[in-house]
Each structure stands twice: as C-alpha cells, then as structure tokens.
Structure 1
Amino acid sequence: MSSYFWLRSFWVLMMFMHNVSQCQAGCAEVDSMTEAVAGQSSMLGCISCKRRAEVPGSAIVEWHFKPLGSGEDFVHIFSYQYPDSTIHHEDFEERLEWYGTKGTSDVQIGAVLIHNVTFNDTGTYRCSFLRTLYLPVKEEFVNITKEVELTVVSEANRELTAVISEIMMFVLIVVLQLWMIGVLIYCYKKVYAENEAREARKAMRAEHEHLESKDPCDGVHME
C-alpha cells in the first residue's frame, strides 16, 4: 500500500481520537509528515488544541508558503473560516483541499491536502490559528503559528513506508481494543446501576405495600 494511504489513515485516526477526546476534555497534538511524493497527494498536518476545552471558541486557519531557497517572504495560499475555504495563490489552484475539523467553527485540526504534488512544492509551510475564546467576561484572542518543512521526492522511501504501516496497524489495534474495553466497562456499569436502582425501587415498593397492609391495631392489647 502507498504511503499516502497510511498517511491518510493516520490523520483519520487522529481526527477520530480528537473527536473522542472532546468528550473527555482532551486533545492530542501531532506533528505533520515532512516528505511527499511527486505526482501524489500529501497531507500538511496542523493541530492546535485549546488549553481549556470547556470554553467555547472559534478559529480561522491560514496557510502560507515559502519555496525552498527563496529569499522572498511567505505568500498566502489558503484560508479556512467555517464553513468556507479559499485558495489564494494560483500555483495551488484546485490542488488544496481542507482536511481539518468539519461541522463546527471551533477548529482544532487545520490539516490541508495537497493534490498532484510537484517539486516546486518543496519549502516551508506556515499554519496559523487565529482563535477567539468566548469567555464569560469578554472575548480573548489567541494566535498560534506552526511551521512544516516539506521535501518532495521522486518516489516513496520504502523503509519509511513499512515503518509507518507497522506503526499504524499497531496503533489502530491498540486504540480499537481500548475503545471496545471502555465501551464494555461503560455498558456494564450502566446496566449494573440500572439493576441496582430497579432493585431499590422494588424494595421500597414492597416495604410501602407492607406498611399499608399492616393492621394499625396490631400490638394493641385491650385490658
């Protein structure tokens, strides 16, 4: 299987873990891959976790690019503001696809997919999160910037691909097993609690019926 398949699977797993972790008030930041194969698609990963997951917020993600060996400044190539994405540079026209958080403006995964990678795509990519936190007193603005050094090669490193595939298989197996164990434990606790509550209600009902059926004159002796 191609390195892109495992790269895509890796980021699908990271997005799954991110979505699951939102229920647990957690988030895991992952470094982007730094090698792409000419003619194929490649993922530029960028994750920025909120420090306080319970605080609602929104984020705009901007991507800039500076070619290798270029003395020029970074050029603006892509932006995402829920629910719209915009390509700003003609060299990347119809080649960039949003692959980050979807369905909400509270973006924490800012990944983009580059289609039909060329050697001219070698260089430094800068990912910027322009985040707004909606605090009870006032809004707070936070800017986070990360850089990815991307190298484009003519063919995939077979050893690297094999390592990635083994790691992915191991991570997938472990995560799925832990998830299944967690679900089983949750279901067991839920069923046990419901049974306990049912038994308690039955006991209270039986005691109540017993008190109602008991003769109030029992134990009273007439002289």
Structure 2
Amino acid sequence: MKITLISLSLLLAISCKKEKSKTLQNKSSDNDTVTLKNDLKIQNDSVKTIADIKTEYARLNNLLISRKVDSTKFNYNCDEKEGEVILYFQDKKLAAVKDFYAEHSHFSSSTTYFVKNDQVFFIFNDETVWNFDDGGTPEKPETKDDIKEKRIYILNNKAVQCFEKNYSLRSKGNNTNPESIPNKEIKCDIDGFMKTYQLILKNRNKRDDIKCL
C-alpha cells in the first residue's frame, strides 16, 4: 500500500508539473518581450551578443508556444527519478530541448535549452520543491511550491550572464506575481547543465524508454 501511495503521489506531481510547464514558455527571458516579424524563418547569422540571444530566444519561444515545430521525445526512469525529454526541430534542425523530471522527495526540475547552429545559447531552468502548507484539512490539504528559476545567457559555449529568481506559490492563493519579482545576477555555473545536454544528445534517437541518461 505504501509503495502504491508513493507511486500515485509521484504520478500526480509529474502530471501537475507538466501542466505548469506548459505555461513556463510564456515567461520571457529576464522579462524581455520582443515582437518579431517573419518569426517562422531561421536566420543565417550567428548569435553574437546578449541582444541577439534575447531576439532569438523570443523567436524560438514564439514557435514553441504556437506549436509550429516538430518534436520527438523519450522517457527515462533512473532510481527515484522519472523524466521526459522533448526535442524540438525547425526545418529538421534542432531548435530546443526540454528536460523535465520529478523525484519522490517532492522535487521536480524543468530545463529548456535553446539552440541555434547546433550551439546552446540560452538555458531556462526552474526547480520546484513542494510541501504541505499550514492550514487546510486532511481531506483538502494546502500546499506550497518553493520555486527557483535560472536564466543563463551563453556565447561561444561560455556562460556570459546568469540570473536567478526565487519565489513561493501557495495553493490557497494570494500569491505575488512572479513577473514582479526582480532577477538577481549570480555567478555562472553551467557544467551540470551541459553535461546533461550532451547525454540527451547521445540518446536523441531513442524511441523507447531508457533507464538513465
């Protein structure tokens, strides 16, 4: 019975997080909203500046939101970590990669890598730890999500600017709008993200579930 309850809780957490992840793409990088013309065309120039990153991010994000890209996916189950990887393509070229996983310890993570000319130029990551909040009833408990977002700007395979934002969302409501919370610049460390990205590329042609990346 205990195992069944744990599995059910994990399934609910994954389902809930996937629903939330659908809205994450609507968030801009560092609150940048760019109106673009011809946003369905792949530009031939490379990403050379922070301004280029913001423009290209907005273009690709538009495509993801409007579902104007092709995609493939595979799942993985590694110890207590269950994950899903989605690879997005525009004109058969890799445009973005999303890696989502959840753990039994009330933790989940979603990372989206934005790609141009086979190079990652922007990473958006959010990590969520949820707990039961004060109040509520056994039949209808209240929960709190503690969320950490990271935005990483990359040029020539090197992180050049990184931001972090922390906030909480309570199921009972009266939450602060996350968009109103400023980003804090932090020291860049992308080794872990890029290691995972390379493992994803090694498994990009998988169609069946795998154990670990």
TM-score between the two structures when normalised by the length of structure 2: 0.27
Which structure is higher in RCO with an 8 Å CA cutoff and minimum separation 6? 1
1 or 2, which has the higher helix percentage? 1
TM-score by length of 1: 0.26
Q: Which has the larger radius of gyration?
A: 1
